[in-house]
Amino acid sequence: MKTQKGNLRICHKGHKYYKSSNCPTCPTCEQESKPDNGFLLMLSAPARRALENNGITSLQQLSKFSEKEILQFHGMGPASLPKLRTALQANGLAFKN
């Protein structure tokens, strides 16, 4: 029999899940909010949430920020920058200088 690791939690939508860390993110809600396409799809969940929590859901919005500003967002790490640069360049855009 498999034992659950962590504490049982229930999110605001009523999903039950176990977490051993203090992370409040519900895995079911996270899967439901994952985009089907676009540049956000190629990012890790923390990086995607970092952009979404700062109102960035399009490349046009992203291009209004510098790389330094993006790295200040909680959950955004340097590994995401090459992916973002590539997406911007593919659409004729770039980070703000």
Burial 18-27 (b: 16+ CB within 10 A, else e): eeeeeeebbe
Nearest by Cα to 54 from 80, 76, 23: 76
* pLDDT band with cut points at 50, 70 and 90 for residue 3: low
DSSP assignment, residue 5?
A: P
Nearest by Cα to 66 from 43, 94, 97: 97
10: pLDDT strictly greater than 90: no
* pLDDT band with cut points at 50, 70 and 90 for residue 24: confident
Mean pLDDT of 76-89: 96
Residue type, 31: Q
pTM of the shown model: 0.70
CATH T-level fold of 36-96: DNA polymerase; domain 1 (1.10.150)
61: pLDDT strictly greater than 90: yes
Nearest by Cα to 91 from 70, 62, 71, 66: 62
Domain coordinates in residue numbering, the chain: 6-34, 36-96
Three-class DSSP category at 12: coil
β-pair partners for 7: 19
